[in-house]
Amino acid sequence: MRCARAIVAAIPAALLACASVAPTPNKTEQQAVELNQRAGRAFEQGDVRRAAALYEQALRLNTGVEHTEGIAANALSLARAHQAAGDTAAAHRVLDELLAERPLPIPQARRAEAQARKAQLHLDANDTARALEWSDKALASCTGCAALPAILNLRGRTALAAGDRAGALDWADKARAAAAAGSQHAGERANALRLAGEARLARGDHQAAVAPLEQALEIDRGLGAPARIHLDLMTLGRAHLELGNRVAARDYFARARSVSEAVNDQAGVRAASRAIEGL
């Protein structure tokens, strides 16, 4: 499992990138950095349990020297590793400890990221009420933080899950505006465009969904993100199927399957195969 492959289907990219800590001359903090980097490599290789163990070691080292940025970065990564391993309770536990009132507060931007990950965990569990609660907390904490476009996309996806299609479109527009400047937000622009396409599909505007989905696909190709490309192709297939164009739908589903086969994403292969079989 690659880091991007594991989470891109639902979670905004800025929230899910493997967190890292900038090198520092302090010996203990440097050890934590090395552990963090080893954990990141393990996560990329699909060994999420080893990644969790290494992130936990790095977290302890940072805690021992009160390195708040390292504490937050490794706690967020540890929660993500637990989530990838299917241990949602452990992920929540790590985040709750990070967000607890403490004499040494974590940076506000990291608090927003932790609250957003709580929202994503609840959204994955189909608890839209709690997901809305935590995504609103994340927005309140994110005063000009770098993760704002991702949190706006998460808020919009939560609205869509709750059946608020107009709200989802509004949040997608806000996310796209927030991600307009800077190449570092290209992934969130694609996420916002995909969200807009899915919201239009959900409310029956099938033709209007195609253009933003095609734009998302173009961006994701430029980013070289196979899992995101798979998602764009699958959603375009759905749009064309709703438009009555079964040939085009089959082509998109087949392309999605081919992309997933190329990166050994078996879940993606199965999803695309089911879509083709259902035509």
Domains within the chain, CATH numbers bracketed: 1-142 (1.25.40.10)
pLDDT 10s digits, 180-230: 877 789 999 999 999 999 999 999 999 999 999 999 999 999 999 999 999
Q: In angstroms, rounded to a whole number, what is the distance separating the alpha carbons of residues 41 and 250? A: 36
The H or E element that residue 145 is part of is none
In this predicted structure, what is the pLDDT of residue 12?
54
Q: In angstroms, rounded to a whole number, what is the distance separating the alpha carbons of residues 209 and 199? A: 8
pTM given for the model: 0.87
pLDDT 10s digits, 67-95: 999 999 999 999 999 999 999 999 999 99
In this predicted structure, what is the pLDDT of residue 272?
98
Task: Per residue of the chain (279 residues), give pLDDT as tens.
Answer: 443 333 334 455 455 555 555 554 589 999 999 999 999 999 988 899 999 999 999 999 999 999 999 999 999 999 999 999 999 999 999 999 999 988 888 999 999 999 999 999 999 999 999 999 999 999 999 988 999 999 999 999 999 999 999 999 999 999 999 998 777 899 999 999 999 999 999 999 999 999 999 999 999 999 999 999 999 999 999 999 999 999 999 999 999 999 999 999 999 999 999 999 999
| Helices of type H across the chain | 3-7, 13-16, 27-44, 48-64, 68-84, 88-99, 108-124, 128-141, 148-161, 165-178, 186-202, 206-223, 226-242, 246-262, 266-277
In this predicted structure, what is the pLDDT of residue 19?
55
